[in-house]
Amino acid sequence: MSSPAEIKRRLEQNWIQFLTKNSARLSMDTLDGSSPPSVFVGRYGYPKVRIGPMIPPVHGDTTVYDKAEMWVGKTLEEIANYRLSLVRGVMNVNVGDTAGRYIENLQELAMSERPAESEATFEKRPLADTDLDRELRLNTDSAPFGPAAPIKTFKASSLSADQKIESAFYDGDLKASDAVMALYEKGVEASRIQRVLSVGMLGLKKNRKLVPTRWSITATDDIISASVVKQNETNAGIDLYEVRQYSHLGNYYSVILIPDGVWSFEMIESWYTGDGRMATGADYEDARGLDHYPSIAGAYFAARLAVAEHLSRRCRKAAALVLREIHPEYVMPVGVWQIREGVREAMKKPAQAFDALDAALVSACSTMSQSLQEILRHSKLYGNMRSQTRITDF
């Protein structure tokens, strides 16, 4: 296994190679290519945000550049190559300004089922000498992207509107949460729902506004998972404690499903600090739901969605404990999609079944560096389970 330093060195080399290979095109004030399609809405300066298309300097099928559901099994370097190839055009817009040709063009792009031929002109070159920055963009909660520049004009062609999204867009009487669920139940991927929500295409017509991409990702996972959890309430419970595990991109997951008649959910994250120690964060909800914004942010909702989906497919209900451990080789954050997809992959694995919670916990922690004792110290779910008196105990 490569060391974190080696992984980061390769990422930096790939970034420099991309800039060198495309320096001529990126040093011009125009760019054309096939947008995956992709639109990004920033959050800094809210309610005035920077919004624009993301376009790679290549033509063809670029779908994989912006579709997280296709990234399972890819290396960190491969994902970085997709994302850092996307040149982002930005224009300052108030979140309430969802009309106008520029926003309409972006909405048409977001609605497209396949990559769209796109052309942008910039106020200055994405790789103007004074703005050349070869440092990787490591401080993002969404997937990273490449060079950026203020945009003057944008147009896209070869668009193919998804009729399911188009229908939700033109329904100005449908609440945003209902529109999100309607699209999800029709098979539209979470990544595409997040995109159209961010560009102000869903919800009551009078209330529509632009939503920063980071917020739209979390909102989509939250809306869908909360609804699926509620739908699962009438399902039969599972009979045994079940443990499933998966790892990718330096992230290790263990999921325990717990026989219980009432939903509860907890996610516990552990990560290495700069001095080589481990820190831990956790959030918990009972059947009443979450009463605060989680300290571990969008990761919580992404994991909750994956677990709720699994139970829904089985027509079952259970309590759930998700353990995530982040190792040093995860040198570049690529977004909470990897949590949603990582837990989804874990839930596809055959379960290890146990008669007792303690045995399930030992198994779940067997692939973790953090000690079982430290994990349990942070677990409200475990404390509640240990203190409950059940009719089966008599």
- Mean pLDDT within 253-264: 94
Sign of CA dihedral 53, 55, 61, 66: negative
- Does the pLDDT of residue 175 top 60, yes or no? yes
Residue 147's pLDDT band (cuts 50, 70, 90): confident
User: Rg for the chain (alpha carbons), in Å?
Assistant: 22
Question: What single-letter amino acid sits at 283?
Answer: D
- Does the pLDDT of residue 226 top 80, yes or no? yes
Per-residue model confidence (pLDDT) at position 392: 44
Q: How far apart are CA 75 and CA 301, in angstroms?
A: 24
Q: Strand 116-122's sheet: what is its strand order?
A: 30-35, 116-122, 148-157, 87-94, 48-55, 39-41
> Do β-strands 352-354 and 116-122 pair in parallel, antiparallel, or remain unpaired?
unpaired
Question: 351 is written with which tokens?
Answer: 């379960």
- Mean pLDDT within 45-56: 95
Local structure of 205: helix, strand or coil: helix
Query: Which residue would you say has higher pLDDT here, 210 or 133?
Result: 210
> Do β-strands 39-41 and 48-55 pair in parallel, antiparallel, or remain unpaired?
antiparallel
Per-residue model confidence (pLDDT) at position 391: 37
**Which letter does DSSP use for residue 286 in this model?**
B
- Mean pLDDT within 355-368: 96
**Predicted model pTM:** 0.92
Q: How far apart are CA 24 and CA 9, in angstroms?
A: 24
Number of H helices, E strands in the chain: 13, 14
Per-residue model confidence (pLDDT) at position 237: 97
Alpha helices in 254-379 (DSSP H): 298-314, 337-348, 357-364, 372-377
Query: Which residue would you say has higher pLDDT here, 135 or 343?
Result: 343
Per-residue model confidence (pLDDT) at position 22: 75
Sign of CA dihedral 19, 131, 37, 248: positive
Q: Work out the end-to-end distance of the chain between its first and last CA atoms, rounded to an integer number of angstroms.
A: 51
Question: 247 is written with which tokens?
Answer: 């790892």
pLDDT > 90 fraction of the chain, expressed in percent and rounded: 78
Q: How far apart are CA 146 and CA 224, in angstroms?
A: 30
pLDDT in tens, 130-140: 333 433 344 33
- Does the pLDDT of residue 389 top 60, yes or no? no
User: Could you tell me if 125 and 27 are in contact, meaning their C-beta atoms sit under 8 angstroms apart?
Assistant: yes
pLDDT in tens, 230-249: 999 999 999 999 999 999 99
Residue 393's pLDDT band (cuts 50, 70, 90): very low
Per-residue model confidence (pLDDT) at position 63: 96
Per-residue model confidence (pLDDT) at position 42: 93
* Mean pLDDT across the chain: 90
